[in-house]
Chain A
């Protein structure tokens, strides 16, 4: 009898810690950070966070027009965590980083080195691996986080989804997550790259949510920042980024254009790219042979070309191969001779396939600049869409 009462008491006492008193955080106490921007400040860093106002995001309760779905706050500090702690004097909620969608580095900071601010982002237990990192081009990170977006009430979410989508459909951007960036920083055969983001349009106008159909300012991804070790050394343009993605085998789908035999342009949907990199030897120097197998569909033909003949397809194939080769070689030229940074990760392949050569090299970036790279694009044409002959070909004159 006494024993069963003791058990009941014990059960009740055990229920008390089940509320989870110690590390508990109530949901309305949390400031969910979706965007983090880090800029260089004279004594350290200027950190900007974009926090969600949950009441404003859902459309059910009636949105007050003067309140925005997100708020952004900036604060400075000697280290990144110090700035974030200091921000508690500004923000009424406890900052919670597990839903972070995007991290933006200011260009000035990137040129100085991103390894130091990255330590906090790696070490903190709230940070996960599903956000992207980008570099701000032509503005500060804090400015980027102040621009509102038309489609998605949360701009940082917009940025995240935009990057993921454009990475799948257009080879001129690259989604870089924290793990990939850390891998690139720590392994000796590859230099990191980060996508660049800029404000297209009127910066001031973009800060207020727009009543117009065409927004005053939009955030656009443009090019990629090239790093040597952890310091940024320059920007890759569209072709350079394409070459980066092709040679890394990170193209899902993209579009390429080529010239028709009688003038005019056609576009081809690149559906599938498989890249194989083999490292050969020429004496003591490594030689990279990159074999690309590219599957294409025809997207549009803005010229006169007879698509019922096989020769036309052969011509298109050859044109595409020439175009691909020239784009890739242009990018390679930039990386080798302008930036001296192995952004393709060829060093990793040399390490894996020709260990002997790898051991002898002291400065891989320097070796990379001198290295011979041979590219062999191999294009396979598959489909042409739903009509056969181009409109230019069949229209009345």
Chain B
């Protein structure tokens, strides 16, 4: 099977994981995983990225977006190689296999902390969005508490439940996205994209690289082993990222056409401004409240996945047996972290624009790549499967 390094320790964890899943049936089907990935990629990026891309790359924002999506897909491809090498383990678990018990454990803990902070930031993002655009008299704390309660409850129900929920929400969100993009077809004018590469390749490359760090696709490696095994899993990971990327591209390019570069760069939430422009034959007007569903859904699912990933990470690092135990205490902790992090919207936008890419890079790019290299060095070219722990009937 595999090398004998740390085997007893890891095996016990594999058993724990299998204990908590319903033995033979996988927790997440491939289709559900694809949809989860799509929602995850869209997440808060649909709210915050068009503005930043238009600000830095100007009329080349669409190229920067494509470049960023290509980077994301390349990363996903590499991560799926890593995931397939340890088909039953989460990234936290095989970091312990590869880096040793203490170093791997510390790395896993840091990764979980990253996911936890990310979940808090997502909560704060949604809170600011709702209070800026719709319910401006409501204190952001009230919205955050209700949202966190919903996220915690969903995470506690388990992966099967929320992956099926995502599958259920998918057609509705798709319908609303199609409606959102209607005004784009009217205003589609290729001339607005000229001149191409006016300021050279560097702003486009920087914009694209910064954009790709906002999707945090590596976090899905924590969910990867719970998906049905086989070739479809890897394709699902790629396809979900691609579809999510297509959505982001449409919204970014669309707001370039409808609102124009300067306006998109100046709006705090350009996709909402895009929604305000929907006017079809005097009938479908003023629907931006309905389209809120898109953003709330995608942020909700991303928050559930990220939060659950951080809980799983903590469980596996500390060897906790009951996977659902820590969900509520950690959820309570999300609230003060979220409120403390985004003191005001200017600070938030500034942080995401200038510091997020540099901060996230070691966690979501370097760390998995390092593990991949170590994996090739330690275990060679074979894939290390732990499909059947000995002593357990298949």
A residues whose Cβ falls under 8 Å from a Cβ of B: 17, 22-23, 125, 128-130, 179, 182-183, 186-187, 351-353, 355
Contact = CB atoms under 8 A, between A and B. Distances in A.
Contacts of B266: 186
Contacts, number: 48
A125 B288 CA distance: 12
Given A22-B142, A23-B137, A352-B191, A179 B277 contact: yes
A17 B150 CA distance: 14
Given A22-B138, A351-B195, A183 B262 contact: yes
Given A17-B146, A23-B138, A125-B133, A183 B195 contact: no
Measured as residues with beta carbon below 8 angstroms from the partner, the interface class of chain B is: 20 to 34
Given A179-B263, A182-B263, A129 B276 contact: yes
13 contacts: A17-B146, A22-B138, A22-B142, A23-B135, A130-B279, A179-B259, A183-B260, A183-B263, A186-B262, A352-B194, A352-B195, A355-B195, A355-B198
B21 interface: no
B154 interface: no
Contacts of B192: 352
A130 to B, nearest CB: 7
Nearest to B259: A179
Nearest to A25: B137
A129 B255 CA distance: 14
Interface of B: 132-139, 142, 146, 191-192, 194-195, 198, 259-263, 266, 273, 276-277, 279, 285-286
A59 to B, nearest CB: 22
A57 to B, nearest CB: 19
Given A352-B191, A355-B195, A125 B137 contact: no
A187 B262 CA distance: 7
Contacts of B191: 352
A128 B138 CA distance: 21
Contacts of A23: 134-138
Contacts of A351: 195
Given A179-B263, A355-B198, A22 B135 contact: yes
Given A179-B263, A182-B263, A353-B194, A129 B277 contact: yes
Nearest to A123: B268
A349 to B, nearest CB: 8
Given A22-B137, A186-B260, A352-B191, 4 more contacts: A23-B135, A23-B137, A352-B192, A352-B195
A125 B146 contact: no
B276 A128 contact: yes
A269 B82 CA distance: 69
A355 to B, nearest CB: 4
A130 B146 CA distance: 34
Contacts of A22: 135, 137-139, 142
A179 B135 CA distance: 23
B133 to A, nearest CB: 6
A183 to B, nearest CB: 5
A-B residue pairs, 8 tightest by C-beta? A186-B262, A352-B194, A23-B137, A23-B135, A22-B138, A355-B195, A183-B260, A23-B138
A153 B142 CA distance: 42
A125 B142 CA distance: 20
Contacts of B263: 179, 182-183, 186
A179 B276 CA distance: 11
A12 B379 CA distance: 57
Nearest to A125: B133
Contacts of A355: 195, 198
Nearest to B143: A22
A179 B133 CA distance: 17
Contacts of A17: 146
Contact of A125 (B132, B194, B286): B132
B189 to A, nearest CB: 11
Nearest to A356: B195
Contacts of B195: 351-353, 355
Nearest to B146: A17
Nearest to A349: B191
Nearest to A359: B198
A125 B133 CA distance: 6
A388 to B, nearest CB: 37
A125 B198 contact: no
A310 B142 CA distance: 77
Contacts of B137: 22-23
Nearest to B266: A186
A221 to B, nearest CB: 22
A346 to B, nearest CB: 13
Contacts of B260: 179, 183, 186-187
A283 B171 CA distance: 57
A37 to B, nearest CB: 23
Contacts of A129: 273, 276-277
Nearest to B193: A352
Chain A CB within 10 A, most for which of B133, B139, B259: B259
A125 B136 CA distance: 9
B255 to A, nearest CB: 11
A256 to B, nearest CB: 27
